[in-house]
Structures are given as structure tokens and as C-alpha cells.
């Protein structure tokens, strides 16, 4: 749904004029989604757990949605400027984003508890550490992808900007 929102609105805009715009619009869509999802989870669980506990745990889920959606948006941006391979590029972005999100969900079932036990701290601290490590790793992967794209883009555009050599 997050990628669909970007595809239906921002993608068609003249302001979406660079691959990185896909990552930015994807991240913003992820932030909006996380806000709505968190509001739903907090209000639907308010009577079963303490408000502070559910709010704290849900607040830590938000940055992940931003990162996953930025991945999908990055590939949507690549697809916009590589129309001959757009379908597979978008599908790759969706699969990467869904895989990272799924991995987060699976690992969050046991890794925070394991971290808390190893470090001798409470579960919440283990969860915070897990989220920081997981989001940090995949945020860094995304940053490196964007940097690699920027380098490749600059190399291609420098070559185009240089005047052709005159035959001697």
C-alpha cells in the first residue's frame, strides 16, 4: 500500500525527477503508514496493556517502516528511469522491502529476549537494542545503495559533459 501511494501520486509528478526521489517519497509513505498503524495498535490494545508500554514499543516500529518503504521507493525510482526493465525492478524492490520487514518480524520474536538475557537487562532494553541494530544495519545498506547510485550517476554525467575529443 505504501508503494502504491507513491506510485499513484508522487510518481506522476514532474517533481519526481531523480531516482533518489523514490527513496524519499517511499520513506515519507512509510512514516505515514507507521503513524496510522501505531495509532491502530495503541488504541486497540490500550485496555489490555499499559499505555506507556504499547506506545514505547510501537514508536520503535516506525523507523523500520521508513527504511523498508525507502528501499521499495528507491527501486520505483530506478524503474521510472529504466522503463524497459520497470516491472522486474519494481518487483525486486517490493521483494527486498517485504523480506527485510519479514526478517524484522521473525527476529523480533526471540532476539530481544536473547539480547536481554545475554546482557542481563530487561526485555525492553533488549528490544531497543535489537531495533537499533536491525534498523541501523539496513539503514546503512540503503545509504550505501544510494551512495553507489550517486557515484555511478556522476560518472555517467561527467562523461556526457566532457566535449568529444577531436580526431587528429
**pTM of the predicted model, to two decimals?**
0.84
Closest CA relative to residue 140, chosen from 70, 55, 51, 87 = 70
Q: Which one has a higher pLDDT value, 107 or 49? A: 107
DSSP character for 9?
T
User: Do residues 31 and 59 lie in contact, with contact meaning Cβ atoms separated by under 8 Å?
Assistant: no
Start-end of H helices in 46-85: 51-80
The pLDDT tens digits for 132-157 are 999 999 999 999 999 999 998 888 87
Can you tell me the distance from the alpha carbon of 131 to that of 147, in angstroms, rounded to the nearest whole number? 24
Q: Is the dihedral of CA 39, 41, 46, 52 positive or negative?
A: negative
List pLDDT tens digits, range 55-88.
Answer: 777 788 889 999 999 999 999 999 998 999 999 9
The pLDDT-based confidence of 102 (bands split at 50, 70, 90) is very high
Amino acid at each position: 500500500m505504501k508503494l502504491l501511494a507513491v506510485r499513484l501520486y508522487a510518481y506522476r509528478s514532474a517533481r519526481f525527477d531523480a531516482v533518489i526521489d523514490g527513496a524519499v517519497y517511499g520513506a515519507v509513505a512509510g512514516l505515514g503508514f507507521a503513524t496510522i498503524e501505531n495509532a491502530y495498535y495503541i488504541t486497540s490494545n490500550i485496555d489490555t496493556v499499559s499505555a506507556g508500554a504499547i506506545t514505547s514499543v510501537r514508536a520503535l516500529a516506525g523507523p523500520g517502516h521508513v527504511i523498508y518503504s525507502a528501499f521499495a521507493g528507491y527501486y520505483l525510482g530506478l524503474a521510472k528511469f529504466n522503463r524497459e526493465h520497470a516491472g522486474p525492478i519494481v518487483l525486486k524492490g517490493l521483494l527486498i522491502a517485504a523480506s527485510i520487514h519479514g526478517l524484522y518480524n521473525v527476529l523480533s520474536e526471540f532476539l530481544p529476549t536473547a539480547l536481554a538475557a545475554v546482557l542481563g537487562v530487561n526485555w525492553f532494553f533488549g528490544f531497543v537494542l535489537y531495533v537499533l541494530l536491525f534498523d541501523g544495519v539496513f539503514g546503512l545498506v540503503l545509504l550505501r545503495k544510494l551512495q553507489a547510485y550517486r557515484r555511478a550517476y556522476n560518472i555517467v554525467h561527467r562523461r556526457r559533459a566532457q566535449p568529444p575529443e577531436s580526431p587528429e
